[in-house]
Structure formats: structure tokens, C-alpha cells
Structure 1
């Protein structure tokens, strides 16, 4: 039976642990700015859904930082905001000594994206500035890396969406640890993921990975996909038929999103209250290695890497077999 890796439980634990810093932070009257954008009339439905996801995500950040004793400026800008006004907002945050962190919910309107580079790197706690950032990766990639660390002893990790913003951060962090990585992206043969020990998907393409890619021997599958739907539901990158196969999996919602929030809370505490705060670690869960899994399946007369009861994958709009590399830093709510 597949075990769900709860990001919500992890976040609850981190919140409790960091609550002690409130009495040190609150008297300083420090602030965090969270900037997001509204959809405009005539925007395509997909964009409107992404802006709604951005709203929910921003509100979760407001609650997280408020819990630590920060004042939070939740800045909501119309999609039609001028480049000059957006730039002025960022410049004002940069010059305000009380504002210690600035988060721009992604994606902003395309014409404004380059202006995010105006951020003071010292206030970029979410790694939005790429090579200019003081962070090694965005918070989402950092959180994914910590989940993988609970399963990557002697493992090979397939990263789907490896050239995107989040995926490239995951690849970089795994390389720092010396973990073998199979980077996969648009145009690659995604079936190669089936031969890895751990699978990470940051593609942002609903139900992209099917039982062809996800297998019972996988120690863990980390699904960072978050695709809002018009009915109010959300879909991850892992097809429902495949989500029942691996030994461990992060659910959508409730998996990677809360872990991302826990990273942001840790980073801001390290920045303003305790630079020696040790990073939290994701709790380990039992798993069986690929070799042991193969031996077990051979003993039952089944072919290694297959499910006990193969299921036909229904055609839900014929999801593509290749990632679309859409894993830019998104303003997703707690996934």
C-alpha cells in the first residue's frame, strides 16, 4: 500500500518549533512584503486560475509570517499595473529597513518579470533572483531536496522538468550532495523515470506521469505539480492510477506546498533571529530497495516493476508523454 508523505504534518511541527522566536521577532516590528497580481478582463481562463492559486498561496504566506510575529504587507496589484508602479513598489521595499523579506508571487505578467531583478538579494528569501540570489535554490526546490534526502541513500533520482526553475534547483541541490540524477525534460524519453529509485516531478502538467513511468519499486515519488481546474479542484503531475503504485508519495494538495512554507519560515528566522538555526529534516519512512523489490516480485512469479493488478489508463484528454517544462516558480497554494 502506498504511504502518503504529509507535508502538512511537517509544517505543523516546524510551526511549533519556530513559535519560540515570536517573542524575539515581534518587538522589532519587522515586516515581510508579499506581492501578487489580479487577473484582468479578457485574460484566458488558465491565467485566471493561476492568479487564484497565487491568491491562496499569498494568504498562506501571510498566516505563516504572522505566526512568527512579522507584520505582513499583502500587496495586491491589478494586472494592468504599469512597469513604473511595480518597480516603485519593489524599490520602496528595498529601501525600507523594517521590511526584511519580499516575495513576488509568480508568475507576474510577462512584461513585468524582468523587473523582479530589482529586488535586493538580501531580501530575496525565495530565491527568485537566480544566480544573484543568496539562496542556493527557491524554497520549493529546497523542500523537495529535503524530502528526497530521506530516501536517497544509494539511490538514483529522476527529475522530470529538470530544466525549469524549480526542477533545475532540485538538480543543483542533489548534485551538491553527490546524488546521481537522471534529468528529464521536454523531448526526453520519460519512461527512463521507471528505472530510477526516486522520482521527482516539477513539470506542472496534469497527470503527465502514468503507470508507464511510476512503478512499485519506487521508494518515493515527489509530486510538485499543481494544476488548478475550473471546478475548483487541483491536479498533480502523477496520474491517479500511478499514484497508487510507489511505496511513498507526496499528495496534491498537502505534500510539497506545506514543505515549501516550512522552508520559508526557517529562512526568515535564520535571517532575523537565529543564523545558527539548524535546518529541519523530513522524517524518514520505510522503503524497500529496488533489488529487494525485484527479488520479492520474482518470488511471487511477477515481473519486477509491475503492479499486481495492471490497470488500463483512461484517456483524460491524452496527457502528453513529454514534460512541457512549465515549472517556473508558481504562486501555488499549499499543495
Structure 2
């Protein structure tokens, strides 16, 4: 039997409607709408598309959204000056600096310059530390999207063996933190799972992956997860986005669908959820800043 589809596009539509209702309730009481400021440096086509999609999603959900576009020649000082202005703007509740940045700019310095209360990507070291300690100000967008995709499809992680293939600061590391922690009032989305973090240098990666009740692929290498690496009936979440001959494909080989119990598609799986959780975090930031 083919794997059941973990449809991120459909779930994102449901959750964005929920967010829109909460935003409408706030504005009906006279509160300003949550505001997201996106900063795009340069003309990378993928980044332009991503920022455009975020801007549209904000508009559709009733959030205020502004895109600040800077040339690729922008200096680090110039970018930091813009970030400082956005930090001080009371109409801006969330700041997103689209990565990657041009080589003359230190990404770490820019990430640290964003006010932690407005860091809706959850990249700032202060917010990463709060997440690791189990008291998150925000959940990182893509990991939170993965957990929502699982939980809202009835796939529990408590007590399960979960393997995360990938160790990036954006997905692998924070997702592992969220999955391993015990759910609390401060961190209700924690997964309570037994977690293994693997990567492409892991010895006998296939054997490690086959242990997983839930397998998350976040490597950035097309088709690296093959059917022989998947436990029959496992839930497989594909976070990868790779361009192969002009086509967007994931880290999971299509034939895995014949072995897995659940499988998220690429596109249409985790991608829409990432943007949805960005809206969620911007609304949360507005609630924390404005009340």
C-alpha cells in the first residue's frame, strides 16, 4: 500500500485560517496588526521567490508586511543600520533577514544584531539557548512545521525512535532539541522522543535510519534516503529542497513511498508549513510585545 501523504499545503491553509482569525480578533479590539519586516540583500532568484511568498502569506492572513530590498553591494554597516531601525520600530514585531547574504557580510553578526524579541526565525543565540533549556520564546519555523505536520496527522512521537538526518543550525539541531524534550507548559510542542542525529558521514547510515519510527531527511542531497533505509510503515518527513534538471526534488527517493506509512511530498510538504510557522511566530511576537 502506498504511503499516506503528509499534505503540508492543505495543513498550511488550515493553520493560516486559524492565524487570520486570531489577527482579526486583535485588530477588532483596536490593536495594531502583527508586522513582519523582511530584508532581502541582492538578487538571488530563490530568495526573491521565498520573500515574495512570505509577503503574500502575510497579506492573506491580515499581517502587515514590508520588504526592504538592498543591493548586493550593501556593506555590513549599512545592513546593520537597517536592522537597528527595524528593532526600534514599534510597528515591526518580527524581523527576517533572508539568507544567504553576500560574502562581504558576516551572517553571524547580522543574526546577533536582530532584537531577540523580534527574531521570528529563532536564529539569535539567546533564542537558541532558550530553546535548548526548554523555555522557547519562539520555535524555529521549519522544525515547528515538521512537528505540526506530524501531530496534526495523528503521528505521535512520544516514546518513539526518531532519526534526524542532518545537523544544520536551521533544521537538524533545533528539531532534535524539540523532539527529545519533555512537553511542559513552557514548551508544549516538545516531542518526548528518543532521538538520533545522523548525517552523511554516519557509519552505516542505512542501519541507523531503519531503526526510525519517524525519519526526517534534512541533508540537502537529492534522493539520499532510499527504500532500503526505511522501516516499513515509518513516517518519513522530507525537508530537502534540491534542483535537479530544473525540477524541485527532496532528499527522499520517490520509491520510498512504497515502503513508508506516511511521506511528505516535495514540493507541497514542509515548505508551506515553514512559512505558516513564520506567520505564527510573528503573531506570537506581537502578543508578547504589545500584549
* TM-score class normalised by the smaller sequence: 0.7 to 0.9
Please tell me whether residue 182 in structure 1 is matched to residue 196 in structure 2: yes
Question: Any gaps of 5 or more consecutive residues in structure 1?
Answer: 40-50, 276-335
1:173 to 170, 174, 178: 178
What is residue 227 of structure 1 aligned with on the other side?
Answer: 242
Structure 1 residues 237 and 135, CA, compared in 2 at 3 Å: closer, same or farther?
A: farther
The answer to whether the Cα contact below 8 Å between 1:33 and 1:75 also exists between their aligned partners in 2 is: yes
Query: What displacement does 1:151 show?
Result: 3.2
Paired with 1:176 and 1:148, the residues of 2 have a C-alpha distance of 16
Query: Is the partner of 1:99 in helix, strand or coil?
Result: coil
What is residue 283 of structure 1 aligned with on the other side?
Answer: none
Question: Any gaps of 5 or more consecutive residues in structure 2?
Answer: 129-135, 183-191
Paired with 1:242 and 1:203, the residues of 2 have a C-alpha distance of 16
TM-score by length of 2: 0.82
Paired with 1:221 and 1:131, the residues of 2 have a C-alpha distance of 31
1:24 to 8, 23, 26: 26
Structure 1 residues 152 and 103, CA, compared in 2 at 3 Å: closer, same or farther?
A: same
What is residue 14 of structure 1 aligned with on the other side?
Answer: 15
The 5 Å alignment of 1:231-246 reads: 231=246, 233-246=247-260
The answer to whether the Cα contact below 8 Å between 1:24 and 1:273 also exists between their aligned partners in 2 is: no
What is residue 146 of structure 2 aligned with on the other side?
Answer: 144
The answer to whether the Cα contact below 8 Å between 1:2 and 1:246 also exists between their aligned partners in 2 is: yes
Name the stretch that deviates more: 63-72 or 96-105.
Answer: 63-72
Q: Considering only CA atoms, is the larger Rg found in Structure 1 or Structure 2?
A: 1
Kindly provide the CA deviation profile for residues 136-161 of structure 1, in whole angstroms up to 9, marking residues without a partner as x.
Answer: 54110111123344232432001000
2:280 to 233, 246, 266: 266
Structure 1 residues 30 and 3, CA, compared in 2 at 3 Å: closer, same or farther?
A: closer
Query: What displacement does 1:74 show?
Result: 1.0
Paired with 1:274 and 1:23, the residues of 2 have a C-alpha distance of 16
Kindly provide the CA deviation profile for residues 9-66 of structure 1, in whole angstroms up to 9, marking residues without a partner as x.
Answer: 1111112222222353386265311112334xxxxxxxxxxx3222222112112222
Paired with 2:45 and 2:120, the residues of 1 have a C-alpha distance of 23
Query: Is the partner of 1:246 in helix, strand or coil?
Result: coil
Query: What displacement does 1:229 show?
Result: 4.2
TM-score by length of 1: 0.72
What is residue 207 of structure 1 aligned with on the other side?
Answer: 223
Structure 1 residues 166 and 135, CA, compared in 2 at 3 Å: closer, same or farther?
A: farther
Structure 1 residues 230 and 76, CA, compared in 2 at 3 Å: closer, same or farther?
A: farther
The answer to whether the Cα contact below 8 Å between 2:8 and 2:149 also exists between their aligned partners in 1 is: no
Structure 1 residues 52 and 25, CA, compared in 2 at 3 Å: closer, same or farther?
A: farther
1:249 to 252, 255, 263: 263
The answer to whether the Cα contact below 8 Å between 1:202 and 1:225 also exists between their aligned partners in 2 is: yes
Paired with 2:95 and 2:14, the residues of 1 have a C-alpha distance of 25
